[in-house]
A and B are shown apart, each in its own frame.
Chain A
Amino acid sequence: MAIPEFSTTGDVSADVVVVGSGVVGGMIANELASAGHSVVILEAGLRLKRAQYVENWRNMSFHNRLHSDFQGLYPQSPLAQAPLYFPPNDYVGLSGPNGSAFKQGYLRTVGGTTWHWAASCWRHLPVDFEMKSRYGVGRDWAISYNDLEPYYCRAEEEMGVSGPHDVSLQSPSERSRPYPRDMIPFGYGDRRVAEIVNPHGFHLVPIPQGRSVEPFGDRPACCGNNNCQPICPIGAMYNGIQHIDRAEARGAVTIAEAVVYRIDTDENNRVTAVHWYDAERRSHKASGRTFVLACNGIETPRLLLLAANARNPNGIANSSDQVGRNMMDHSGVHASFQASEPLWFGRGPAQSSCIVGPRDGDFRSRYSANKMILNNISQVAPATEQALKLGLVGTELDDEIRRRAACGVDLSISLEPLPDPDNRLTLSKTRKDPLGLACPDIHYDVGDYVRNGLDAVNTQVRQIAGLLGGTELRITTDYNANNHIMGGTIMGTDPRDSVVDGNCRSHDHGNLWLPGGGAMPSASVVNTTLSMAALGLRAADSIKADFEKGRV
C-alpha cells in the first residue's frame, strides 16, 4: 500500500494528486490507490457526518424544505463557499438572458454533491456523441459511445445501479453487460401513468438508480424514505463518500479544508505541484507525478483560470481559450397539475420513472430533445401550501391536503442546450472569496435551440395532462437549473478549440487530467453523474497506463 509523504511543514508528495473529493475524484483515487499508487486528495470543504446533515434537514424551516433548499443543510467551510440561495450569497455572479437559469446547487464538502443527488444513473445515447455528424448541431465527442460503454458498465457496477433488465425499458439498450441489479419496481403511480400515456408514444421507463431494494454489498436496502434529496438518512443511496472511504482504505489520504489556488508547471508545461490554503490560511504544496482536477463544472474552470502563471497567462490548460466557455446545464421547466384520480406519488425513492419518448428524433436538427421525470417526491408539502392558500381549516383542510397529496403530479422537464462559446465562466473583477480569490461569474443564454424545444414540451405536457384528466395545469416560464454542469473544459480532438482529449487529459499539460462534466461536449437530456463517473474511470485507466509505460 503506497502512502503519500508529508513534510514537517505540512507539504505533501504523492504519485497522484487529486483535487476534489466527489464521485469523480473519489473513484479515480480509489482506482489508482488500488493499483498501488500513492494518492492525496485535496478537498476545499469540510468533512462531516451524515447524521449531522440529516438532523440539519429535519430542523430546517418548512419554507426552506418546501422550496427545496438542498444546500443549506451542508455547513460550509468559511474559506470555501458554495452557492447558497436561502438567502442568496451571490458567490456565483449570473448574467445574460437566462442567467437566473444557472443557479447551480453544488457542494464543496468531502464526498461532493452526490450527498444530495437523486442517484439517477443515465447513459447518453450513442447518437448523443455525434450531434454534429448526425444532426448538424453542437459538437461531436472525441470518443464514441462504444469507447465509453465499458466504462459506463464499470461505473454502474461501482455505484450499484438498479436498472431494467427488460431491454424494451432501457434507454439506451446498447449494453455489453446487464445492470448490476434489476430495476427498482414501479410504484402504483408509475404503473398507472405508463398505462395511460404509453399508448400515445411517450414511453415511460424506470430511471436507472444508484440504490437497490435489497442490500448491495455493505450498502443497505432503500426503504423509501423519499428523502434522497437533500440527504439519504440511512446510506441506501450511493454517495461519492463511499469511494473516498474505499480509497482511504487502500492508502489514499484526504485533506479537507484545503483550497487549491495555484498550479506550478515546468519547462515542458507539465504540472509539478499545486498549492493550497489550509483552514488557518497557511499555504502548502502538493507535489506529484500526475494531477487530476475533479472539482465539478464550475470550480475546475475557475481554478484553471485562477492559476494562470507566466507560461500559461490565460490560465492553466487554456491555450485554446476554451476554458470556462460552452457552459451547459439541462435548463428545464416544471409542470404540475392535479390528476383526476389518486396516483399516490411520494412512495419509494424520489425519482422513479421518466418519459423518454421525446429523447431523440430527427427533430434534433432543429430543436432540443427533452425528458420528463415523473417526480416521485412526496406531494404533501406543496399540497399543504395550496390547501392553506384556499383558506381551509379543520377537517376540510385535512381532506384537501389528502386529496392534493394523492392526485398531485409534478413533471421535471430537462432540455438540451448546445455548446456555445459565449456561455462563459470568467473570474469576477469585483467579488472575491474570503481567501481573496476571485469568485466565478457566468453569462448564460439557453439559446434558440432550447427555446424552440420548449414549444414542443408545452404541447407534450398539455397532452399528458389531458390524458390524466389534469386540472390546475401550471408550466413554469422561467428556466430552472438542474445542477448538471457541463462544457467548461470541453473535450475535442483539436487542441485549438478544445481543452481535453478523449481521455480527459488536457491538451496543454501531459500529466494533467480534467475529468467530469466539464469535458462533456454534448448535454443530451439526461443527468450527468454516470457519464462523469465513466469519464473518470476512463481517465484513471489512462493515468494507470502512463505509469505502466513509464511515461510519468
Chain B
Amino acid sequence: MRRWSGKGLGLAGRVGLAAVALLLSRAVVHAQSVDANEPIAERGRYLAVAADCAACHTAPGGGKPFAGGYGIASPLGAIYSTNITPSRDFGIGTYSEAQFGRALREGIRGDGAHLYPAMPYTSYTKLTDADVHALYVYFMTDVKPVEAPARRTVLPFPYNIRATMAVWNALFLDDRRFEPESGKSVAVNRGHYLAYALAHCDTCHTPRNVMMAEMGGRALGGASLSSWYAPNITSDPKSGLGGWSDDDLARYLKTGDVPGKAQAGGPMAEAVEHSLQYLNDDDIRAIVAYIKQVPAIADAADKAPRDTYGKPSDREAAYRGLDARALVRGERLFTGECAACHRPTGTGSPDGYYPQLFHNTAVGAARPDNLISTILMGVRREVGGHTVYMPGFGSGSYVDSLSDQDIADISTYVEQQFGNPAVRVSAEEVTLIRTGGPKPLIARLGAFAVPGMIAGVLMLAGAALLVLRRVGKKP
C-alpha cells in the first residue's frame, strides 16, 4: 500500500463539493462541445486519463489496468480501489449507463451501496451527460475485463457502515452538472470544467472544514494532505501563482518541472505522471487560463512569492579540508548527503535533472512540509518515458537513512541558505510528517466522537446551507 496519493485523502477527505458548487454554479447552462467525428470510446479514454481513474484503480507495480486493489491510505484505514473493468463477475460489466453515472456522480454502486468518498464523486458529479456517456462506452468496449476480485476494504466501526455516507452526501454532495459562467471565455470555462469535473484539483488544493468538506471561500487556497502540502494555486501574486507566466504554468502541468523554479513531487508528481502529461495543449492552456483568474487568496505570512527566496552558497571553499566540526550540523549533513547532486552552491545540475534549491517553490514556501517530505520520501516522476528520481532518506533508504533530527537540521540549513529564513524545522515536525502528517480532527477524535459530531454538524449544516443559498441567489 502506498502512503497517500492525490486521490488518497481518505474517507473524510473525499466529501463534498457542495459549497464550492453552489458558489460557482450561477451561470448559464452550456453543453460541452463534442467533436462528432471523434470516436466516442476514444474520447472516453481521454476523459478517463483527464480524470486520472487509473491512478487509483490500477495497482502500482504492474497491476492490470483498472483491476483495482490500490490501497489508498486514509486516516481511518486503507480504502482499496475496486475492479472497474467490464468483468461481469468482479467489475462493472453488468452496470447500465445509469448505474455507471450514479456511481460517478452520486457515489452509489450498482447494488445500491454507498461508495466511500475516496472515489471523488463530489467532483465527478459535475461531469456532463455526454462525457459520462463517453466514459461508459470506453470502459465497456475498450477496457479489457479482468476476471479477478480486488481486495476488499474493511474499515473500523462506525466507518464500516456505508449507509452513514448518505448523511454526508445530503450535507456536502451537490448533485449538479457543471454550468459554464457567463462573461468568462470559452477557454476559462473549459479550464474550469477540466480542473474540477475531471482533474479534481480542488480535492487537494482546497482546505477542508471539520467535517472534511471543502471550504468554498478558500477555493484552491492551499491545504495539508497527510505528509505533503498542496500549495495555494490562486492568482495571488505572493501566496499563489499570480507571478507565474502562462508558459511556466503550462510546462509545469505538462512535465512537472520548471527548471530554477518548481518541481512536482508526491501526489502532484502522480497527477502529472498519470494524467496531466497526456492532456492536449489546448486543454493545458485552458486549465492555465482558468487557474490564472481564480480569485486571489492572500496569506499574511507570505512576504514574497515562494520562488524568489534564497541565493547560491559560496561556502565550500571556506570549509573544504577543515575538520567537520567547523560546520554547523545542518551544513555538515547537507554537504555529505545533498551536495553531490544539488551541489554545495545549491545550483543543481546544468541539465536540471538535479534541481536548483534557491528560488525553488518547495524550499521558499512558508511551510516546510514539502521540503521535509521530499527529503523523507524522495521524488519519482515518469514523464515522456523518462523517470526523474530522487531517493528518499527515510527508513530503508538506498543512500542513507536519516533521523528526524538529521532531517530537521538539514531542512533548517536549506531554508536559511536557499529558502525562507523565517522557517526553522524541529525534529518533532519531521516526526509528524514521517508518520503521515497532521491528522484531521475527525481522525484524532476517534470512533466514538463521530456520531455526536454528525448530529452537531447536521444542525450546523442546516444553517450553513441557508447561508449558502442566499449567497447563491446574489446576481
Nearest A-chain residue to B392, judged by Cβ: A218
Q: Which residue from A54, A59, A235 sits with its C-beta under 8 Å from B391?
A: A235
Residues A234 and B399 in contact, CB atoms below 8 Å apart:
yes
Chain A residues within an 8 Å CB radius of B399: 50, 220, 234-235
User: In the complex, are the beta carbons of B324 and A55 less than 8 A apart?
Assistant: yes
Whether, in the assembled complex, B396 has its beta carbon less than 8 Å from a beta carbon of chain A, the answer is yes
Q: Is the CB of A54 within 8 A of B340?
A: yes
Task: Indicate if A498 sits at the interface (CB-CB under 8 A).
Answer: no
Given A50-B399, A249-B396: A223 and B353 interface contact (C-beta under 8 Å): yes
**A221, CB-defined interface residue at 8 Å:** yes
In the complex, B380 has a CB within 8 A of chain A: yes
Tell me the complex Cα distance, A26–B340, Å.
Answer: 27
> Which residues on the B side are within 8 Å of A340 (C-beta)?
none
Contact check: which of B337, B349, B389 meets A215 at CB < 8 Å?
B389
Cβ proximity bits A191-226 to B, threshold 8 Å, 1 near / 0 not: 000000000000000000000001100111101010
In the bound complex, CA of A58 to CA of B401 (Å): 21
Pick from A215, A234, A246: contact of B340, CB under 8 Å: A234
Distance from A313 Cβ to chain B, minimum over Cβ atoms (Å): 45
| Contact assessment for B337 and A51 in the assembled complex, using a CB-CB cutoff below 8 Å | yes
Residue numbers in B under 8 Å from A58 (CB-CB): 320, 335
- B389 with A235: CB separation less than 8 A: no
Partner of A50, one of B320, B354, B400: B400
User: Would you give the shortest CB distance from B324 to chain A, in whole angstroms?
Assistant: 6
Q: Is the Cβ of A218 less than 8 Å from the Cβ of B391?
A: yes
Report yes or no: B398 in contact with A218, Cβ–Cβ below 8 A. Answer: yes
The residue from B349, B389, B397 contacting A221, defined by CB atoms under 8 A apart: B389
Q: Contacts of B389 on A, CB cut-off 8 Å? A: 215, 220-221
Whether a CB of chain B sits under 8 angstroms from the CB of A242 is: yes
Q: Give bound CA distance, A215 to B381, whole Å.
A: 11
Give Cα A50–Cα B339 distance, bound, in whole angstroms: 13
Flag whether B333 is at the interface (Cβ < 8 A).
yes
The answer, yes or no, to whether B187 is at the interface (CB within 8 Å) is no
CA distance A249 to B394 in the complex (A): 13
- Known A58-B320, A215-B387, A220-B390; judge A51-B336 contact (CB<8 A): yes
Task: Write out, one digit per residue, whether chain A residues 39-53 have a CB within 8 A of any chain B CB (1) or not (0).
Answer: 000000000011110
A245, CB-defined interface residue at 8 Å = yes
> Roughly how many angstroms separate A214 CA and B385 CA in the complex, as a whole number?
11
> How far is B392's CA from A220's CA once the two chains are assembled, in angstroms?
10
Asked if B466 lies at the interface with its beta carbon under 8 angstroms from chain A, I say no
Please tell me if B102 contacts chain A, counting CB pairs below 8 Å.
no
Pick the residue among B340, B387, B390 that contacts A214 (CB under 8 A). Answer: B387
Interface pair B396/A245, CB less than 8 Å apart: yes
Answer whether residue A447 sits at the interface, using C-beta atoms and an 8 A cutoff.
no
A59 and B390 within 8 A (CB): no
- State how many angstroms separate the Cβ of B142 from the closest Cβ of chain A: 30
Residues from chain B with a CB closer than 8 A to the CB of A51 are 333, 336-337, 400
Q: Indicate if the CB atoms of B336 and A219 lie closer than 8 Å.
A: no
Whole-angstrom CA separation of A249 from B336 in the bound complex: 25
Indicate whether B463 reaches chain A with its CB closer than 8 angstroms: no
Residues in A with CB closer than 8 Å to B387 are: 214-215, 221
Q: Mark B260-298, 1 if CB is under 8 A from A, else 0.
A: 000000000000000000000000000000000000000
B317 within 8 A of A: no
* Nearest CB on B from A7, distance (A): 28
Chain B nearest CB from A329 CB (Å) reads 30
Contacts of B349 in A (CB 8 A): 223
**Residue numbers in B under 8 Å from A246 (CB-CB):** 396
A233 at the A/B interface (Cβ < 8 Å)?
yes
Instruction: State the CA gap A235–B353 with chains docked (Å).
Output: 16
B321 touches A55 (CB 8 A): no
Q: Which residue of B lies closest to A248 (CB)?
A: B396
Residue in A55, A223, A225, A245 whose CB lies within 8 Å of B336: A55
Residue of A nearest to B332 (CB): A55
Find out whether the CB atom of A242 lies under 8 angstroms from the CB atom of B398.
yes
- From residue 319 to 333 of chain B, which have CB atoms closer than 8 A to chain A? 320-322, 324, 332-333
> Which listed residue (B324, B340, B401) contacts A225, Cβ 8 A?
B340
A60's nearest neighbour on chain B, judged by CB, is B321
Chain B residues near A55 (CB, 8 Å)? 324, 332, 335-336
- Select A220's contact among B335, B391, B400, beta carbons within 8 Å: B391
A54 partner residues in chain B, CB cutoff 8 A: 336, 340
Chain B: CB-nearest residue to A239: B398
Max chain A C-beta neighbours (<10 A), residue from B396, B398, B399:
B398
Is residue B454 within 8 Å, beta carbon to beta carbon, of the partner chain?
Answer: no
B60 to chain A, nearest CB (A): 13
Check if B341 is an interface residue, CB within 8 A of chain A. Answer: yes
What are the interface flags for B304-325 relative to A under an 8 Å C-beta threshold, 1 for contact and 0 otherwise?
0000000000000000111010
For A53, give the chain B residue with the smallest CB separation.
Answer: B336
Q: In the complex, which residues of chain A have a beta carbon less than 8 angstroms from the beta carbon of B322?
A: 59
- Complex Cα–Cα for A242 and B399 (A): 9
A300 to chain B, nearest CB (A): 28
Minimum Cβ distance to chain A for residue B240 (Å): 33
**How distant is the Cα of A55 from the Cα of B337 in the complex, in angstroms?**
9
- A245 and B332 alpha carbons, distance in the complex (Å): 24
CA distance A52 to B324 in the complex (A): 9
In contact, B390 and A233 (Cβ under 8 angstroms): no
* Chain B residues with CB below 8 A from A52, complex form: 336
Known: A55-B324, A59-B320, A220-B391. A235 touches B398 (CB 8 A): yes
What residues of chain B lie closer than 8 Å to A220, measured between beta carbons?
Answer: 389-391, 398-399
Q: Whose C-beta in chain A lies nearest to the C-beta of B338?
A: A51
In the complex, the answer to whether A223 meets B341 with C-beta atoms within 8 Å is yes
B380 to chain A: which residues have CB within 8 Å?
Answer: 215
Chain A residue, CB-CB nearest to B340: A233
- List residues of chain A with CB within 8 A of the CB of B390: 220
Q: Whole-angstrom distance from the CB of A57 to the nearest CB of chain B?
A: 10
> CB-CB < 8 A to B340: which residues of A?
54, 225, 233-234
A221 to B389, alpha carbons, bound, how many Å?
8
Please pick, from B320, B336, B396, B398, the residue contacting A49 in the complex, using a CB distance under 8 A: B336
CA distance A149 to B429 in the complex (A): 50
A residues in contact with B401, CB < 8 Å: 245
Nearest A residue to B353 via CB reads A223
In Å, the complex CA distance between A233 and B341 comes to: 9
Q: Please give, as numbers and ranges, the residues of chain B lying within 8 Å of A233 by CB-CB distance.
A: 340
335-368 of chain A: CB within 8 A of chain B: none
Chain A neighbourhood of B398, CB < 8 A:
218-220, 235, 242
Given known pairs A215-B389, A223-B341, the reply for A235 and B396 (CB within 8 Å) is no
**Contact indicator A49/B400 (Cβ below 8 Å):** yes
Interface residues of B in 393-429 (CB under 8 A from A): 396-401
Shortest Cβ distance from residue B320 to the other chain A in the assembled complex, whole angstroms: 7
A48 to chain B, nearest CB (A): 10
Residues from chain B with Cβ under 8 Å of A49 in the complex: 336, 400
- B340 to chain A: closest CB distance in Å? 4
Please, how many angstroms separate the alpha-carbon atoms of A225 and B396 in the complex? Answer: 23
Nearest chain-A residue to B337 (Cβ)? A51
Q: Could you tell me if B400 and A59 are in contact, using CB atoms closer than 8 angstroms? A: no
Within A235-288, the residues touching B (CB, 8 Å) are 235, 242, 245-246, 249
Q: Give 11 A-B pairs besides A59-B321, A218-B398 with Cβ atoms closer than 8 angstroms.
A: A49-B336, A52-B336, A54-B336, A59-B322, A218-B396, A219-B391, A220-B399, A221-B389, A223-B349, A235-B400, A245-B396
9 tightest A-B contacts by CB? A51-B336, A235-B399, A233-B340, A215-B389, A55-B336, A51-B337, A235-B398, A49-B400, A50-B400
A-B contact pairs, 20 of them (CB 8 A): A51-B336, A51-B337, A52-B336, A55-B324, A55-B332, A55-B335, A55-B336, A58-B320, A58-B335, A59-B322, A218-B391, A218-B398, A219-B398, A220-B391, A220-B399, A223-B341, A225-B340, A234-B399, A235-B397, A235-B400
Binding site for B on A (CB under 8 A): 49-52, 54-55, 58-59, 214-215, 218-221, 223, 225, 233-235, 242, 245-246, 249
